[in-house]
Chains A and B, each alone.
Chain A
Amino acid sequence: MKIIIIGDGKVGSTLANVLSKEDNDITIIDKNASVLNQTNDDLDVICIEGSGLNIKTLNEAKVQESDLVIAVTNQDEINMICCLYAKRMGAKYTIARIRDPEHSEEIKALMEELELNQIINPEYTAADHISRLVMWPTFSDIELFADNKVLLTKYRIDDSSPFIGKSLTDITDFDRANILVAAIERNYETIIPKGDFVFKKDDYLYIIGEVNSVNIFLQQRNKHNNKLNDVMIIGGGRISIYLAQILLKNKIKVKIIEQNPEKCINLNMLLPDAMIINGDGTDYDFLQSENMSSAGAFIALMGHDEANIIACLIAKKSGATKTIAKVTRIKGLNLIKDIGVDSIISPKLLTANHILRFARNLKVKEDPSINELYMMNENKMQALEFSVEHAYDFLNIPLKNLKIKKNVLIAVIVRNNKIIIPRGDDCVKLNDRIIIITSILNIVNLTEIF
């Protein structure tokens, strides 16, 4: 597929990185030569210096032959116009990043007027993701599949875990709970475990299963499992506004702490039901006086990664149940989790996942069977949900008789709203939905897993 990415920022380069490894021809347009040089050295893509608003540059990038144009510069208006130009010049599909809440009301109209195929709002995506973490507090990382019936989450093995030193086949807890250990993250490597896999301290298990089963499993093992009724948000940016809106709708109390007085007034106008407090979100005494220790969730969404991490560490130390930090720098995400922040949110990474899902689906336009896609552990592994819509020749054959590729795991089969964790005797049938976990990153079609 020929893909043009306008804007070589974090989202742009993350997308280019993953998409180019999936055998797409990527062209990147950006105004900044030094950023392009770096990208050109790192990735197998072609870089063009120039503005996406310039017809000549777009011509040079061969927009007319492109399948997909993704505009992710830091300005909404530029993204819109780039996409409009691209569409008029013959690009098949366009995606624009539009983040300003001002536009959010007219999204539908904008999409039609500009003939956009997809709009992404990183802040909204991030807020949506955080709200899930708040509503299911026992999880540190959540992805829902099969119309929100199947849940994939991470579970850390701590010092006191009874699993340490045991192998997967020795432990019956998972079978009893009807959930599956789909993958293990150890020392930043991700492995699909075999029966003889022995657990160690600080392994992260990716567990998948029906939402309730997973919930019960984790509640039995976690010390604090009270439903979160109040949330403290540090920083009053766009994500905070979207997040507060979603949480308030779900009857969760929201307290926002923002340093800038004018912003506070603005927030108060926008979110009349939330409590807005003017103050420094990294000041220990101030946070104490605002009862941070009793807050159900402590979410740091300030502009600086460092401030967010420090705020979360303070909150964790003084007893906050769950801490979530927004981190913009993508590299080294794993390191931060090690020091005790419960969840890390990277809007850029979420956005990239979102676009990736769209791009993958385009690739199999005639067979648009990927429903969901989730990148795990810094893009090293992914979970994919497929619909089985054709009479493939692997249907109705017990899984133990099928030759499935190495590093591919069929994790869940969803049949008539029933969730099946497949064993060797189960088989895939027509109209099932299946979720696979794999480290082969360029799978777009079900036939590719055999």
Chain B
Amino acid sequence: MNIKILVKILGFVLCFEAIFMLPSTAISYAAGQYDFLSFLLIFALMLAIGIPCSLLNVKRTKLYAKDGLTAVALSWILLCVAGCLPFYISGAIPSFIDSLFETISGFTTTGASILNDIESIPKGLLFWRSTTQWIGGMGVLVFALAVVPSITDSGINIMKAESPGPSTSKLVPRLRKTAIILYLIYTSLTILEVICLKIAGMSFYDAFLHAMSTAATGGFSNQNTSIGAYNSVAIEIIITVFMYLFGINFAIYFAVLTKNFRNAFKSIELRIYTAIMLAAYILITVNILNLYDGHILTALRYSSFQATSIMTTTGFSSTDFNIWPSFSKSIILLLMMIGASASSTGGGIKVIRIIIIFKSLGISFKKIFHPNIVKTVSIDEHAVDNNTIFNVLLFILLYIIVIIIATLLLSIENFDFMTTFSSVLTMIGNTGPGLEMVGPMSNYSIYSAFSKIVMSLCMLIGRLEILPILFLFIPNKRSYIK
């Protein structure tokens, strides 16, 4: 492992985090609240450590796939540890573990909180909480590749490790341009949402905060009752639409921008993603109709917002779906597992993996009847090789193993099974709210410090798609590296 380049990358990560902290610091200053000094202190600290590290003169800039995994895992851990300091030092969240949980929940775009009274937290810190989500949504290392491509020759290995989905492909030949395009799409959509939310009646501050949380499919709000606090149909529709948009594979936006409409709308992932979502709308609406006295539009309003929020793994809530019937709750758990599209900002297993699995299952069945049949899985007219299928299977298997282990560890708390299980699912899927005791109107403060650490790890594992974090825990890694 090339330690020097790793230090350099980590240095850049700190510098970028410091820069991203500036708006929050400014807001904190303008609001004149107690968190300003701690922001300033941490900003200076991050630059003081980050700049010398980033200036390191590295001769060998080659990063292998395994180095990419390590770099990404360590960067994210550093990002979270440094990012949690404002909460901890200002005293807004007195416990370090709690601050860390809150920040990891931010960067991994989970949106799970341990705060009982969100509205009592200073404005600057709340803004920082949503900023962490926005950074985490597209990934900080992708940002680094866009700004300073000279860090390494082999950025693709970093991008592969950081962006979600079974196969990472570049939009254009240059990695740097790809990263820039991704961030441009991401930023413009976010700004568009800010404008829409402002028009719908939010204040600029609220609009920015919610737009950033939506863009990252994160789900942090500055209201105790999340989006439900506004009780505005317009705002709910706007957020629903944008949650849906941010759950789409960003390659599709690029195809649309380059006027390649045929490819864009033929994408099977986009179609299945939309179909699953619409099916969930209908099923939940019918199921909860009774709760809303047969008002189909009211039922649709809540079901569509909630289904979109859960499937894109955002985790906003406009109502308490804890009181919904079991069938609806089961659908919500299912959506949580499926998640959004690959190369979007959403989490979960990802629709494309589900498609690949079902297609290969179909072929396996055909093989029973026609043992000599030759048929390959194809996605958008491109054959998927066996290696990719194997990796998808492996991913899902690991996903399930992590869920089982985490459930086992969380059940030490002795809460009911649904609370424990939904906590794990929502953490590894980067969604946010769970069911029962951790429902949309509750939070995770009921858990002990140990469970919070387990859940934090789940969030990181979910966001980075298992391998990078797992790689850090491989015992005797040296022998693997050599």
Contact = CB atoms under 8 A, between A and B. Distances in A.
Given A41-B157, A46-B169, 12 more contacts: A2-B173, A20-B173, A25-B177, A33-B385, A41-B65, A41-B156, A42-B154, A44-B155, A44-B173, A44-B175, A46-B170, A46-B173
Interface residues of B, number: 16
Contacts of B385: 33
Contacts of B117: none
21 contacts: A20-B173, A25-B172, A25-B173, A25-B177, A26-B173, A27-B173, A33-B385, A41-B65, A41-B154, A41-B156, A42-B154, A44-B153, A44-B156, A44-B173, A44-B175, A44-B176, A45-B173, A46-B169, A46-B172, A46-B173, A49-B382
A109 B155 CA distance: 45
A40 interface: yes
A417 B172 CA distance: 47
Contacts of B156: 40-41, 44
A193 B448 CA distance: 66
Interface in A31-51: 33, 40-42, 44-46, 49
A21 to B, nearest CB: 9
Contacts of A49: 382
Contacts of B176: 44
Interface in B120-174: 153-157, 169-170, 172-174
Nearest to A45: B173
A378 to B, nearest CB: 15
Contacts of A46: 169-170, 172-173
A2 B153 CA distance: 20
Contacts of B154: 41-42
A25 B174 CA distance: 6
B456 to A, nearest CB: 31
Interface of B: 65, 153-157, 169-170, 172-177, 382, 385
A432 B155 CA distance: 42
Nearest to B178: A46
A27 B169 CA distance: 13
A20 B376 CA distance: 33
A40 B175 CA distance: 11
Nearest to B171: A46
Contacts of A45: 173
A44 B62 CA distance: 12
A49 B65 CA distance: 21
A44 B157 contact: no
A40 B157 CA distance: 9
Contacts of B155: 44
A74 B427 CA distance: 52
Nearest to A62: B258
Q: Which of A25, A26, A44, A45 has the most CB of B within 10 A?
A: A44
Nearest to B62: A42
A49 B156 CA distance: 18
Nearest to A61: B173
Interface string A1-33: 010000000000000000010000111000001
Contacts of A40: 156
Contacts of A42: 154
Nearest to B169: A46
B11 to A, nearest CB: 22
B259 to A, nearest CB: 12
Nearest to A20: B173
A26 B65 CA distance: 22
The 9 A-B pairs at the shortest CB distance, nearest first, are namely A25-B173, A46-B173, A44-B175, A46-B170, A26-B173, A45-B173, A27-B173, A25-B174, A33-B385
Contacts of A25: 172-174, 177
B388 to A, nearest CB: 10
A46 B177 CA distance: 12
Contacts of A33: 385
A42 B63 CA distance: 9
A306 B173 CA distance: 37
B147 to A, nearest CB: 16
A40 B170 CA distance: 10
B392 to A, nearest CB: 16
A253 to B, nearest CB: 49
